[in-house]
Chains A and B, each alone.
Chain A
Amino acid sequence: MVDGALRAVGDARYKGLEEDALAHQQSRLQVRDVGVNIRRTGAGRPLLFLHGAGGVMTWMPFFDALAEHREVFVPDHPGFGLSDEGRWIGSIGDLALFYLDLIEELDLRDFDLVGNSLGGWLAAEIAIRNASRIRSLTLISPAGIRIRGIPCGDNFIWSAEEQVRNVFHDQAFADRALAQTLDPEQVTISLRNRFASTRFGWQPRWFNPDLEKWLHRIKVPAQVIWGEDDKLLPAAWASRWKECLPDARLALMPRCGHLPHVELADQTARIVTEFLKGVAA
């Protein structure tokens, strides 16, 4: 849903930094019968970033900011980006268990888990099942639970323009994104992302009715970050996450939409980094 948005960041915000940016590598990891495209950069304690419904159309400054102290792994979920479809992965629960396989395959231990939107939901689904290798959890405007009476926006019915505009507070980001045109490969990737996010998020819309029942099992330190002007997933949901997670802090970001790590990349990276520093070794 935010392909254009992420692209804009790549083009308009990141381009000047490109030469200075840490090189990131792209590789393919086979997990069971699914080839997973993984980008990674940096060195140090591992950090796994789980992307949202729009996938990762371009490498982002946020990843490099995190990579100053971490080895950052950014996989494309099955069906998204350049990863295989893995059609048998039919639900968010399947996807979470698939990721537990992937985590073992990469042999990530004592790692920090960060996810945005669909990826935040996925991170929580992974953590309720098995958090033994997870050191901390950072959820950036996560989907996954809802508060009755405070509905989410409908990115599936929004027009292409609304899909971009409604994920930003600062419409300058949207303007830049909308001015871009996608090349054929990007068109295919954005279609794949949209198909795959439909698979996991269409019904019930962006949540799992069973997830909230089990969030108490996530004992690791958690931080929930939310843009106060999130038109897709209401910031009012943040308090429910804080209530349900045993050890959670909350960071609300004024004048920010659904993608704090894009719209306020430096600030969000600082908030994440500070939190990770405070997590006991």
Chain B
Amino acid sequence: MKFVAFHLMPYRPLDLVEAAKHRSAWVVLPNSLYDPEKGADEYESHISSLVYAEELGFDGIAVNEHHQTAYGIMPAPNLIASALIQRTKRVKIAIIGRALPLVNNPLYIAEETAMLDNMSRGRIIQGFVRGIGAEYHSSGTNPFYSHDRFHEAHDLIIRAWSEAGPFEFEGDHYNFKYVNVWPRTYQRPHPPIWIPSQGSSETVAWAADPSRKYPFLVTFAAADAVSRYLNAYRDQAKLFGYEAGGDQLGWAAPIYVAETDEQAVAEAGLAAEQLFNNFLRMTWEMLIPPGYMSMPSMQNFVKMRAALGSQPKRTAEELISSGTALIGSPATVRRKIQEMRDRTGFEVLVSMLQFGTLNDELTRRNMALFASEVMPHFRT
């Protein structure tokens, strides 16, 4: 199994009481709540903890992109990736992912990733996402065209990396007289592509397509849902006439390990709740703007929403029992990983070892314990 240490880089000094007075921690949360002195410390601390992951033997470290939010202060993940390249030697650096529909010139993404891939001598993994719904509000991107722009930008970037330039690109949303990216990517034909997803059937079918076979990464879902989505990918692969490998199946989850289950919950339970209740807090209208989901998905979602009412507050107990967050002793966490492996055959675990306001000391202890007491058991 491959282990990736993933970081959202939340703004931990956030005044949660003040933040709760606003509609969301996204888009409309006043940036006057951000203190640059504290923020500068946050960057240093979060980058250091990702660098520490290399020391601990992780296979990869991962960053991602989010805009106008305290949830993650990484609107430009490539800047962090660039810093990580300078401070690490061996680990893969996964940018999971870039939000393709939000940009008007996807060639900038192709160029920047190609630079990072050269600078790291081929250590880059590239994730492609559509961005979270709130980012269609903050970027002024029309969500009605979210899927179309994603697919077209993807096709453009892959061609820009793998075909000889210059060539002309003729699309509906993007048109370029000259596509001729300098530098070329270090890895040929291009860096590995990963697709983080909440599990929509359209995305599963697209990622599993034999022309792509992109590793599929289920993020922040209950264990049953993770299993369902990963098996949907396997089934889809079979329909396409091939067997999906474990390296195509990924799971991203908040993980916290301590000596005992009780200690783990005491130390990290609140932080897990904060991740969902404070930092990811947004209204349905922000989470799912019209067109962001397909009409059939949206109709299902409306039914579910009617059953749920307002967005429920998450509790540590529920996050743990549903397997959304893996929090417990090394034995407990090992067992849950093994269960998922038995259910799905997944071989890529993207562990988020800092979440909510979890401090540096606990984060490092968590990372070290996870590396020494959990990872080795899955290295065979």
Contacts and interface: CB of A to CB of B under 8 A. Distances in A.
A157 interface: yes
B142 interface: yes
A195 interface: yes
Given A195-B291, A199-B142, A202-B142, A187 B27 contact: no
Contacts of A194: 290
A48 B286 CA distance: 35
B141 A203 contact: yes
B291 A188 contact: no
Interface stretch (B242-250, B257-265, B294-302, B322-330): B294-302
B144 A202 contact: yes
A185 B94 CA distance: 44
B48 interface: no
A198 B142 contact: yes
A188 B142 CA distance: 21
Contact of A198 (B23, B283, B290): B290
Given A157-B285, A159-B283, A198-B289, A191 B142 contact: no
B283 A195 contact: no
Contacts of A192: 295
A188 B302 CA distance: 10
B291 A198 contact: yes
Contacts of A203: 140-142
A158 B298 CA distance: 18
Contacts of B143: 198, 202
A197 B144 CA distance: 9
Nearest to A162: B285
B90 interface: no
Contacts of A214: none
A195 B290 contact: yes
Contacts of B142: 198-199, 202-203
Interface in B1-57: 23, 27-28
B305 to A, nearest CB: 10
Contacts of A202: 136, 140, 142-144, 289
Interface in A174-213: 187-188, 191-192, 194-195, 197-199, 202-205
A213 to B, nearest CB: 22
B202 to A, nearest CB: 16
B137 interface: yes
B299 A191 contact: yes
A88 to B, nearest CB: 10
Given A191-B299, A195-B291, A198-B289, 9 more contacts: A157-B27, A187-B302, A188-B299, A195-B144, A198-B290, A198-B291, A199-B144, A202-B142, A204-B140
23 contacts: A156-B137, A156-B285, A156-B290, A157-B27, A157-B137, A157-B283, A158-B285, A159-B283, A159-B284, A159-B285, A191-B295, A191-B298, A192-B295, A194-B290, A195-B290, A197-B290, A198-B142, A202-B140, A202-B142, A202-B143, A202-B144, A203-B140, A204-B140
Interface of B: 23, 27-28, 136-137, 140-144, 283-286, 289-291, 295, 298-299, 302
